[in-house]
Amino acid sequence: MAEELQSLISRIQSEGVAKAQKEAEAIKAEAKQRAAQIVKQAHTEAAAKLKEAEEEAALFQERAGKTLEQAARDLLITVGRGTEKIMEEIVRDAVREALPVSVLENMLVKVVEAYVADDEAAARIDLLISEDDQKELTRFFRSRFRRRLEQGLDLRPEGAIDKGFKVSYKDTRLTHDFTAEAIAEALMNFLRPDLGEIVHRVARESAGDKTK
């Protein structure tokens, strides 16, 4: 009887240990599976975040590149306008200096010869000059073109004229502008393309130096 009881106890113990080992193995396997799933999910999330970060970095780089390009264009425009303004002032000053009264007298002689072919034409023309040059030019015209003045040619000052003169037709609104401002503007129209090319060439050369 005692042996049977001992055998039963041993069997119960053995079965209990086996069951416990089996359950432990199952728990261990489940834990491994769950850990693998967690690691896999973490890798997936990490890869997704990395991809998102790479895309954001690429977009930021693209936006930064476009911003730099626009800034470079704005800088070139600003430099170009500044250069053009300086050149305009230089050209205007040069034209004013190139138009003393003696030069204007010669120019007006050519104008009278070209515009006033007869008495009727003289009566239709006004020569508009600057107030500063009025005295000397009027004296010159009275000595050189007295007859034309008597025929109707009019030489009179206009406050808006700084240097040079205008030829105005009395019976129309047609005016030919030979003022310093008009001559300077005509010269700038020739110079602007070259100025633009100079600014862009300097910018390209500067960019090349920075990459060396």
Q: Give the whole-number percent of the chain exceeding pLDDT 90.
A: 5
Instruction: Say if residues 134 and 157 touch (Cβ distance below 8 Å).
Output: yes
Whether residue 135 has pLDDT greater than 80: yes
Mean residue pLDDT across the chain:
77
3 state SS for 84-130: HHHHHHHHHHHHHHCCCHHHHHHHHHHHHHHHCCCHHHHHCEEEEEC
pTM of this structure: 0.56
Q: How confident is the model at residue 80 (pLDDT cuts 50, 70, 90)?
A: low
pLDDT, greater one: 71 or 159? 159
What pLDDT band is residue 46 in, cutting at 50, 70 and 90? Answer: confident
Please report which helix (H) or strand (E) contains residue 165, including its range: strand 164-169
pLDDT above 70 (res 116): yes
Q: Does residue 70 carry a pLDDT above 80?
A: no
> What are the pLDDT digits (tens) for 117-131?
766 666 678 889 999
Q: What angle do CA 162, 168, 172 make, to 5 degrees?
A: 145
Amino acid occupying residue 183: I
Task: Please provide the size of the chain in residues.
Answer: 212
pLDDT digits (tens, 9 = 90+) for 151-196: 778 888 998 898 999 988 887 778 889 999 888 888 888 877 777 6
Q: In whole angstroms, what is the distance from residue 152 CA to residue 95 CA?
A: 30
The pLDDT of residue 51 is 83
Contacts 24+ apart (CB under 8 A), 101-109: 101/133, 101/136, 101/137, 101/140, 104/129, 104/133, 104/137, 104/164, 104/165, 105/137, 105/140, 107/165, 107/178, 108/137, 108/140, 108/141, 108/165, 109/144
Q: Which of 183, 124, 175 is nearest to 148 (CA)?
A: 124
